[in-house]
Structure 1
Amino acid sequence: MRAFKTESKKLLDLMINSIYTNKEIFLRELISNASDAVDKLNFKSLSDASMELADGDLAIRISVDEGVRTLTVSDNGIGMNADELERNLGTIAHSGSEEFKSENAESQGSEVDIIGQFGVGFYSAFMVAKHVRVVSRAFGSEEANAWDSDGLEGYTIEPAERAGHGTDVILTLRDDESAESGEAGEDYGRYLTEWTIKDLVRRYSNYVRYPIQMMVTKSRQKPKPEDAGDDYTPEWEDYKELETLNSMTPIWKKRAADVSQEDYDEFYKSSFHDFEAPLRTASFHAEGALEYDALLFIPGRAPFDLYSKDYEKGLALYSSNVLIMEKCADLLPDYYNFVRGVVDSQDVSLNISRETLQQNRQLRAIARRVEKKVTSELEDMRDNDREAYETFFDNFGRGLKYGIYSSYGMKADELADLLLFWSAREQKMVTLAEYAAAMPEGQQAIYYAAGDSRERLAKMPVVTGALSRGYDVLLLTADVDEFTFQAMREYVARDMPKVYEDDAARAAAEQAVADGAEPELEDRRIEFKNVAAGDVDLATDEEKEDAQRATKDNEALCDAMCASLDGKVEKVAVSARLTDAPACITTEGPLSLEMEKVLARGPEAASDDLPKSRRVLELNAKHPVFEKLVAAQEAGDTDKIGLYAGLLYDQALLVEGMLPEDPVAFAARVCELM
């Protein structure tokens, strides 16, 4: 027996017990090695005209013998002689495939797709096998040799018999382990079952370019005997048939013109376990310094766990048609976590186990291109298939908004134009660009109201007041909406009509257009304003003067009402924004009532340090209720002023969708008035 060197024994132990986290990938590694061996022979036939080799002759075969617990992976590839067995299997981390790639780097083309890199994948067999025997016969040789090892002390190489060129890797599986001390046992015998082998091949090696074949058991009905009577019961029999387990040609490497949308839909449904067809499909191929294929899908519905902590984003990553990671999270930003698909590249730098990736510029470059492609597809859907886009946004728009918020507005340039909000005036979903384009001359901000219901928001006094003055209001009903606007701070509206500093400049521009010139356009920065904020000024100069005068004339009344509310509001003032309602609550500062409600539902709700909005009770001086307040003040009836102040404040809270702080006291006030 030839002993492994001491260092090699330590390295082999690492191969078996530490590098790979998932035992079942051993079959992927052995199939990849077999594919490389077949590829090498195929390449040799391309450069040697004397070799007669048909593609149909090349295959990988899997067979099992449950009686002796062996699993065999065979190929009819290039094979190895005794020296090559010594060099490739006796020397850990020596990769014959990598050596082949280096020697033939200039002459390889698309006909050769070598997978191996590190020379350690073979040793993953010892994770499930207690003994491995490799029988190999080099192409053109009449002799075969066998490499035997238990993966512990060493290995032997001796002459053997094999009918033709190629390699057999024969694994004698470990004994099954029973559960101990509450830990699950290990069922190594499952790797001898047809179902398990089929599942592993289709999951990891479905797109290896050569057929992976296995004799499988099937059932068929026996022919009906000629003398059988009418009461004959059909009989069935099992039989064996050679079946190809893999599909070989990946759909993402076919030309888009050769694949129908039905084919893409079927691949999506079967691969990602969705019963609905995707809303959008994008397939592209990149060449140059980094070559890869990508097939992306935008789902038609959101998975039930999309916003749970257990949801895993990511694209399936393949290298040379072999699955490396089922979900590579680094290929997608969080706000595009709903995208599903495949990326296949032989250029990405894998780590030694091929289970995870090295963080490198190739991966980042692919991720940037994927992100741009997804953005482009969403923009095209938004502009040319609005109904489908609104369906998409209903499912996944929350993630786009959160992408802006979580990046503190840094992603606003990429995502802002993908957002949709409900327009109170248009009664439909609009983009920020569409809102800006419809703004009347002189409007300086994008106005919005935040709450839990469009219907309630549309009836709020501050909203109806803005609409009556000709300003549209976006109605925000998602809890992240207002936080998103706070993070964005402003929206850059492109190609807006130029705003001129004075009448002379405007007149000159209008004359230029009349003479045939193109209208001047500009990019305009427009801030976001909550219509319930205290600093929103939509009234005319006359309305503002009237409100200021009424506040000054009734200063004592306002102070008395503020005092009776005992710190619930910062102040009480006459409003210039109200039209029909007797009163409303506005806020000063960055925290609105709706943001306060959202925070109150969060994990810090019980904290005493939860921030509160700075509230202002605004009164409508033109409403009959105001006359009652003035009369109570003139009569010196402080009790009635306190009663009215509390009632108006609680009523305004209800309009905002918030419960009075003391519902019993509110009910008592109503009963007292009755």
Structure 2
Amino acid sequence: MTKQTLSFQAEVAQLLHLVTHSLYSNKEIFLRELVSNASDACDKLRFEAINDNALYESDTELKIKVTFDTDAKTLTITDNGIGMSEAEAVEHLGTIAKSGTKDFMSKLSGDQKANASQQGQLIGQFGVGFYSGFIVADKISVESRRAGLTPAEGVRWVSGGAGNFEVEAMERAERGTSVTLHLRDDALEYASAWKLKSIISKYSDHISLPILMEKEEWKDGELINPSDESGGRQPGGMVKTGEWETVNKANAIWARAKKDITADEYTEFYKQISQDQDAPLAYTHNRVEGSTEYTQLLYIPGKAPFDLFNREKSAGVKLYVKRVFIMDDADNLMPTYLRFVKGVVDSSDLPLNVSRELLQESRDVKAIREGCTKRVLGMLEDLAKHDKLPAPATEEATETAESVTDVQTAEEKAETEANVGKYTKFYKEFGAVLKEGLGEDFGNKDRIAKLLRFASTTSDAASVSFADYKARMKEGQESIYYITADSLAAAKNSPQLEVFKKKGIEVLLMTDRVDEWALNYLYEFDDTPLQSVAKGAVDLGKLQDDAEKKAAEEAAETFKPLLAKLKEALKDKAEDVRVTTRLVDSPACLVVQDHGMSTQLARMLKQAGQAAPETKPVLEVNAEHPLVKKLEGSVHFNDLAHILFDQALLAEGGLPEDPAAYVKRVNALLV
């Protein structure tokens, strides 16, 4: 074949413009593509050699070499894979989006095809990936020889990325392909061992073939005047030693069988992708097959990052397509409330040039997202199940527990013991974020509710689940009672708990900022309604005897004139004033209507600079308290009424609208 100049397919010029300016926003992606193509070529040789071992010629060790020449401004990626003939070079490199892998896969039949898919080895769309080299190069030279052809049947392909390319025959002793990029002046950073190694580590660590680079060592500069050592030296620098080293780990951990991977290997991979020095709390590794095929390797960290509550920050798992790295933080693959999850999703169905916009619209992505969500929730359920081992209370229970333990395998016992306390640790770090799922993930709302933990009037630790609470509800109790507050101390000492403490009714204490919002989406748990003790009138139902109900009704009737007077005095602050049934020791408290916004949530919205509806609370007064009794006939009625309201506001963590006026009133009464 003599040297000839051929024209690209008509659309190539448009493609080159797209690739170099739009398709790849990160220039270093070109190396990922070319290394993937080289790996693809080696995989093709491996499969073709199953039926024709002679294709290996005298070189059976498949590998990829990356070399650079700083002086010549070149970067070369060489593989000893299947290579190309002259016709294949023209076809694959001169035609837009020509997929060598796709053609190769279509030629495989039956068991061969199944085996190839199983291995997950055939990656890359050869055409577009190759053209990405023009992001950093003003000329690309390709030298290749197909396995099985003679050395004289090599081919050289050269193009400047414009409207045409040159092809000519050449002598090439080695099979395979060398792609040489003639770097632009603004891309000379890619002729650096450190830069290339960092890119390979980031994008191609999982490539199963060794990626080799020449070792370098520091060499001092030579004397300017050899006869005079004090005369100075030329600048020193790094020089190549002629020895080769593997610069990638040469395996994709998620593509391997779980039985072949140790716990230490899983942990090391987690540390690599998360930049976390500590081991994860848990991980799950699965291959999902069906209408959508993908592999997931997901981790739950042991510690929350400092910016966990920044919902605008990009977060998510790493996305690979057929083991080719696509993007970090693919947030479409994981719901926002699980933004703490780290890991990898490798899809067999998504295109290599998928963008974040395409991810939002893809049905495959929706299926992957749902699958990953269920898998993470399953991990958390397992951690919660083994979080603590209850101590048997009786000899009979001890015997039962021992008999159950006896049937466990050694592996199951070890797993149970290893998980003790892990969910408590997880919930301390990520519980507040998990609660966001109540409002974001309606389909999994019940599963999320079962995972939530709270402090209560019987436990300061956030260890009480809704199921725990239900199991010890008093006979006749019809609701799960809770209170929200800014802190545990404020919740525990809230006046609104007084009647519940008196009757020994447990109340959940919710102190995360997200609680008030999240519980707007959870009205019941396991058919038992949730009731805030700070909303609406207290109705304890069967827990309140007839005498108590009658006394409350009589007090309300007796106090009608005083209530009317209080309501008039506080008309600018309180929506209503009524006699309470929830107070025992305190004179008054503030509540809101059943479906109203709590004063706590209104305060949080204002602190965050958001608009909150202007609502007035209801003031409930304790008719038996001396301060309330003192109101009747007092010459300081108006001041006492406002003090009563402001003290109720202070008791729940709020501040008087006019602190100076409050202090003035209190001082006047003290004097």
CA distance in 1 between counterparts of 2:357 and 2:109 reads: 25
In structure 1, the residue matched to 2:226 is none
Distance change in 2, residues 1:55/1:114 (3 Å) = farther
CA distance in 2 between counterparts of 1:298 and 1:74 reads: 39
Aligned-partner residue type, residue 665 of structure 2: R
Residue from 554, 565, 577 that aligns with 1:549 = 554
CA distance in 2 between counterparts of 1:314 and 1:571 reads: 48
Segment drifting more, 60-69 vs 118-127: 118-127
Aligned-partner residue type, residue 127 of structure 2: G
Matched, 1:172 2:182: yes
CA distance in 2 between counterparts of 1:444 and 1:623 reads: 29
**How far does residue 434 in structure 1 lie from its aligned partner after superposition?**
1.1
Deviations 1:182-209 (A, max 9, x none): xxxxxx0110000111111111111112
Matched, 1:193 2:192: yes
Report 1:527-538 matches (<5 A). Answer: 527-538=529-540
**How far does residue 51 in structure 1 lie from its aligned partner after superposition?**
4.9
CA distance in 1 between counterparts of 2:605 and 2:17 reads: 53
**How far does residue 126 in structure 1 lie from its aligned partner after superposition?**
1.0
Q: Percent of pairs identical after alignment?
A: 40
In structure 2, the residue matched to 1:224 is none
Distance change in 2, residues 1:12/1:626 (3 Å) = closer
**How far does residue 219 in structure 1 lie from its aligned partner after superposition?**
5.6
In structure 1, the residue matched to 2:623 is 621
In structure 2, the residue matched to 1:426 is 459
CA distance in 2 between counterparts of 1:247 and 1:99 reads: 29
In structure 1, the residue matched to 2:569 is 564
Report 1:497-536 matches (<5 A). Answer: 525-536=527-538
Given that 2:577 and 2:618 are in contact with CA atoms closer than 8 Å, whether structure 1 keeps it comes out as: yes
Matched, 1:412 2:420: no
Distance change in 2, residues 1:526/1:120 (3 Å) = same
CA distance in 1 between counterparts of 2:327 and 2:284 reads: 20
Distance change in 2, residues 1:253/1:629 (3 Å) = same
Given that 2:311 and 2:336 are in contact with CA atoms closer than 8 Å, whether structure 1 keeps it comes out as: no
**How far does residue 157 in structure 1 lie from its aligned partner after superposition?**
0.7
In structure 1, the residue matched to 2:208 is 209
Given that 1:39 and 1:113 are in contact with CA atoms closer than 8 Å, whether structure 2 keeps it comes out as: yes
Distance change in 2, residues 1:380/1:344 (3 Å) = same
In structure 1, the residue matched to 2:304 is 302
In structure 2, the residue matched to 1:263 is 265
Distance change in 2, residues 1:593/1:458 (3 Å) = same
Distance change in 2, residues 1:288/1:640 (3 Å) = closer
CA distance in 1 between counterparts of 2:172 and 2:445 reads: 65
Segment drifting more, 337-346 vs 317-326: 317-326
SS in 2 for 1:120: helix
Given that 1:529 and 1:536 are in contact with CA atoms closer than 8 Å, whether structure 2 keeps it comes out as: no
In structure 2, the residue matched to 1:46 is 50
In structure 2, the residue matched to 1:652 is 648
**How far does residue 356 in structure 1 lie from its aligned partner after superposition?**
6.5
**How far does residue 365 in structure 1 lie from its aligned partner after superposition?**
2.5
Residue from 131, 144, 149 that aligns with 2:159 = 149
Unaligned ranges ≥5, structure 2? 221-235, 389-420
Matched, 1:162 2:166: no
CA distance in 1 between counterparts of 2:56 and 2:648 reads: 89
Residue from 133, 146, 149 that aligns with 2:141 = 133
In structure 1, the residue matched to 2:125 is 117
In structure 2, the residue matched to 1:97 is 101
Matched, 1:580 2:585: yes
Given that 2:55 and 2:148 are in contact with CA atoms closer than 8 Å, whether structure 1 keeps it comes out as: no
**How far does residue 619 in structure 1 lie from its aligned partner after superposition?**
2.1
Given that 1:325 and 1:356 are in contact with CA atoms closer than 8 Å, whether structure 2 keeps it comes out as: no
In structure 2, the residue matched to 1:501 is none
Deviations 1:211-230 (A, max 9, x none): 11111203699xxxxxxxxx
In structure 2, the residue matched to 1:458 is 492
Matched, 1:604 2:610: yes
In structure 1, the residue matched to 2:525 is 491
CA distance in 2 between counterparts of 1:256 and 1:614 reads: 59
Aligned-partner residue type, residue 542 of structure 1: A
Deviations 1:448-496 (A, max 9, x none): 111111112211221122121121111111222122112212222xxxx
Segment drifting more, 355-364 vs 553-562: 355-364
Kindly report the root-mean-square deviation, in angstroms, between the aligned alpha carbons of the 2 structures: 2.5
Report 1:58-77 matches (<5 A). Answer: 58-77=62-81
SS in 1 for 2:12: helix
Matched, 1:361 2:394: no
Report 1:6-21 matches (<5 A). Answer: 6-21=10-25
**How far does residue 401 in structure 1 lie from its aligned partner after superposition?**
1.5
Aligned-partner residue type, residue 392 of structure 1: F
Residue from 25, 29, 35 that aligns with 2:33 = 29
Unaligned ranges ≥5, structure 1? 177-187, 222-234, 493-524
**How far does residue 4 in structure 1 lie from its aligned partner after superposition?**
2.9
Could you state the TM-score of these two structures normalised by the residue count of structure 1? 0.85
Given that 1:423 and 1:473 are in contact with CA atoms closer than 8 Å, whether structure 2 keeps it comes out as: yes
**How far does residue 587 in structure 1 lie from its aligned partner after superposition?**
2.1
Deviations 1:46-92 (A, max 9, x none): 11255556885211111111111011111111111211111111222
Distance change in 2, residues 1:650/1:540 (3 Å) = farther
CA distance in 2 between counterparts of 1:375 and 1:54 reads: 52
In structure 1, the residue matched to 2:482 is 448
CA distance in 1 between counterparts of 2:437 and 2:157 reads: 55
In structure 1, the residue matched to 2:276 is 274
**How far does residue 357 in structure 1 lie from its aligned partner after superposition?**
4.8
Could you state the TM-score of these two structures normalised by the residue count of structure 2? 0.85
Given that 1:129 and 1:173 are in contact with CA atoms closer than 8 Å, whether structure 2 keeps it comes out as: yes
Residue from 655, 659, 664 that aligns with 1:668 = 664
SS in 2 for 1:436: helix
SS in 1 for 2:50: helix
CA distance in 1 between counterparts of 2:485 and 2:48 reads: 70
Report 1:388-403 matches (<5 A). Answer: 388-403=422-437
Matched, 1:318 2:324: no
Given that 1:530 and 1:536 are in contact with CA atoms closer than 8 Å, whether structure 2 keeps it comes out as: no
Given that 2:55 and 2:147 are in contact with CA atoms closer than 8 Å, whether structure 1 keeps it comes out as: no
Aligned length: 607
Aligned-partner residue type, residue 35 of structure 1: S
Distance change in 2, residues 1:449/1:355 (3 Å) = closer
Deviations 1:563-586 (A, max 9, x none): 122331233222222111122222
CA distance in 2 between counterparts of 1:302 and 1:586 reads: 35
Distance change in 2, residues 1:67/1:237 (3 Å) = closer
CA distance in 1 between counterparts of 2:590 and 2:78 reads: 78
